[in-house]
Amino acid sequence: MKIVVLDGHGLNPGDLSWDGIAQLGELTVYPRTSDDDFAAHAADAEILLTNKTPITDERMERLPHLKYIGVLATGYNVVDTEAARRRHIPVTNIPAYSTQSVAQMVFALLLAATNRVEHYARENREGRWSRNPDFCYWDTPLVELAGKRMGIVGLGHTGMATARIALAFGMDVTALTSKDAGSLPEGIRKAASTDELFATCDVVSLNCPLTPDTSHLANARTLALMKPGAILINTGRGPLVDEEAVAEALGAGRLGAYGADVMGTEPPAADNPLLSAPRAFITPHIAWATQEARQRLMDICRDNLGAFINGQPQNIVNPW
């Protein structure tokens, strides 16, 4: 079978091997596929693997040999799954491969805000500690997490992993979740409402999917409910927050810090207000990109494809 990876660089810039997938067919890997390149790259493909390259109804119409689409991510909005379903083309995704890595990034961003390691490391490289008259110095607030309340929006795989880390830090955990309160692990309390969570937590971490109900969940109104100096973390999806409202709250000093690994548009525009906002800690969508997580992604992709070839497809997101 002819297998084409449309945008392999994001998953594998050279430190992983495609050999496991190559054993399943005739493999071609393109680092990236632009709109102009799509027709030539996808021509005659029976299997398409994509991360961010859209596969639309119109594009499928021009690919008569296409039998399978594998998304190299958990989210699969880049594929018109209904159009694929009508053509009996299974679409698969990669669930839960980056759970621990993303939960780790939640706390990397949180600790960046509370301990400011990068600030002091930069100052010391420039000689500040060596010139200091005392044995230590600090010029930012330093915050202990133990005893603080962490609110987690979404208690799926990543939200639950984040909660476990928060409990290990000695934090109290409140979760906005559809799960029954009685089924939650010890130490996790169910929030009565979104407003209650934003109003009562010292840290709010967004770990939920992007839906019409969660779009701009963090907005001018909900940000105004937060405690002065509270911290907001977003490793879910960029549009979970109103970025202008977050930047305004940071500039006004009401929001203590904002840590995000995702933006509403990626890459963000150079004039995005969060890129220059005070106490905004922005990373370039790398929470998923540890070598361990990417290797799991590669392995699950191989297993998904092998299961399809053997007539027992798994992780299908568009069943018919």
Q: What residues are annotated to the active site?
A: 237, 266, 285
Contact 215, 239 (CB under 8 A): yes
Opening angle at CA 233, ends 232 and 238, nearest 5: 110
Give SS3 for 108: helix
Residue 184 has a CB neighbour count (10 Å cut-off) of: 17
Angle at 230 between CA 224 and CA 233, to 5 degrees: 100
Name the DSSP letter for residue 211. Answer: -
Distance of CA 29 to the CA centre of its chain: 24
CA 45 from chain centre, in angstroms, equals 29
Residues 83, 60: Cα–Cα separation, whole Å: 8
Q: Which of 220, 103, 198, 97 is nearest to 153 (CA)?
A: 198
Q: Which element (helix H / strand E) includes 149? A: strand 149-153
Cα 274-294-217 angle, rounded to 5 deg: 35
DSSP string, 54-96: -B-HHHHHT-TT--EEEESSS--TTB-HHHHHHTT--EE--TT
Alpha-carbon distance values, 44 to 1, 38, 56, 152, 157 (Å): 10, 12, 16, 45, 37
Across 30-58, b (16+ Cβ under 10 Å) vs e yields beebeeeebeebbeebebbbbbebebeee
